[in-house]
Amino acid sequence: MTRKRTCLELALCLTCPLQAQAAEVALVPLASAQSEQAPAPWRVVGVPGGKIPLTGFAMVELDGRKVLRVTASRSYGNLVHDLPPTTPLVGLRLSWRWRLDVGLKATDLSTRLGDDSPLKVCVLFDMPLDKLGLIERNLLRLARAASAEKLPSATLCYVWDDKLSAETMLPNAYTGRVRMIAATSGKTAAPGQWVAQTRDVAADFRRAFGAESDSLPPVMAVLVGGDADNTGGNSLGYVDDLTLVR
């Protein structure tokens, strides 16, 4: 929408463009759902072929608010929100609240057998392939050719983990294209306690992938997930107020 302002209005409100930009919301609010299903363009994505049960995602009433319930039971799944392909990373802040009522006991994100997270919020990036090593570049090309999904070249996941200390960062046990940050640690957060998070996504990208890329790539998507397929456990958590603003 084009807004006409007089020179006087602009002179009196030099910060208006910045304020409007800061208020810009890139994600459709989950709480706008009219049913238990998350509103479009949010969509559930699982493992191709349906060999692993899907994690459950439902909009429910909790403490007088509509929040996202994430239920994992020997399952894997992500609730994905695609973004315009040219969404710049500069200045993005990702905020949300989450709580974990039932955690996973056998997680160990440093190993494949323990590679599960009861709650995670991830940002997917379209990092240029020439930033990747030859083997990773070719593997990603093959994966993209075989997948119906637009696979990212870099993914940063904020996880709730009961064993890692807060702000611990480590690579995914299966692929170096995914890095994880323990945004909330069960060592300090009690079951059923809401914890608020705000992340400078560009700063976290530099921390996770700065050795590979000296530039900031576009953001492809944001997702909420939970999985318990490797540990065979069960978990229950909630996510609320998920926003992405510049």
Who has greater pLDDT, 28 or 15? Answer: 28
7 domain residue, yes or no: no
> How many domains does the chain divide into?
1
* Confidence band for 15, pLDDT divided at 50, 70 and 90: very low
* Confidence band for 147, pLDDT divided at 50, 70 and 90: confident
Tokens at 202, concatenated = 């560009």
pLDDT of residue 21: 43
What residue type is assigned to position 124 of the chain? L
pTM of the model: 0.87
Who has greater pLDDT, 82 or 11? Answer: 82
115 domain residue, yes or no: yes
pLDDT (tens digit, 9 = 90+) per residue, 30-70? 999 999 999 999 999 998 888 899 999 999 999 999 999 99
Per-residue 3-state assignment (H helix, E strand, C coil) for 85-101: EEECCCCCEEEEEEEEE
Mean per-residue pLDDT, 74-100: 95
pLDDT of residue 152: 87
Tell me: pLDDT of 10 over 70.
Answer: no
Per-residue 3-state assignment (H helix, E strand, C coil) for the chain: CCCCCCHHHHHHCCCHHHHHHHHCECCCCHHHCCCCCCCCCCEEECCHHHCCCECEEEEEEECCEEEEEEEEECCECEEEEEEEEEECCCCCEEEEEEEEEECCCCCECCCCCECCCCEEEEEEECCCHHHCCHHHHHHHHHHHHHCCCCCCCEEEEEEEECCCCCCCEEECCCCCCEEEEEEEECCCCCCCCCEEEEEEHHHHHHHHHCCCCCCCCCEEEEEEECCCCCCCCEEEEEEEEEEEEC
12 domain residue, yes or no: no
pLDDT of residue 4: 36
Q: Provide the β-strand partners of residue 200.
A: 93
10 domain residue, yes or no: no
Q: The domain containing residue 112 runs over which residues? A: 22-245
214 domain residue, yes or no: yes
pLDDT (tens digit, 9 = 90+) per residue, 169-205? 999 999 989 999 999 999 999 999 999 999 999 999 9
Tokens at 45, concatenated = 């994505």
Looking up residue 92, the CATH number of its domain turns out to be 2.60.120.430
Q: Provide the β-strand partners of residue 197.
A: 96
Residue 131 near residue 155, CB atoms below 8 Å: no
Who has greater pLDDT, 134 or 164? Answer: 164
Tell me: pLDDT of 18 over 80.
Answer: no
* Confidence band for 17, pLDDT divided at 50, 70 and 90: very low
* Confidence band for 208, pLDDT divided at 50, 70 and 90: very high
16 domain residue, yes or no: no
State the Cα–Cα distance between residues 45 and 113, nearest whole angstrom: 22
| Locus of tokens 């240029």 | 128
47 domain residue, yes or no: yes
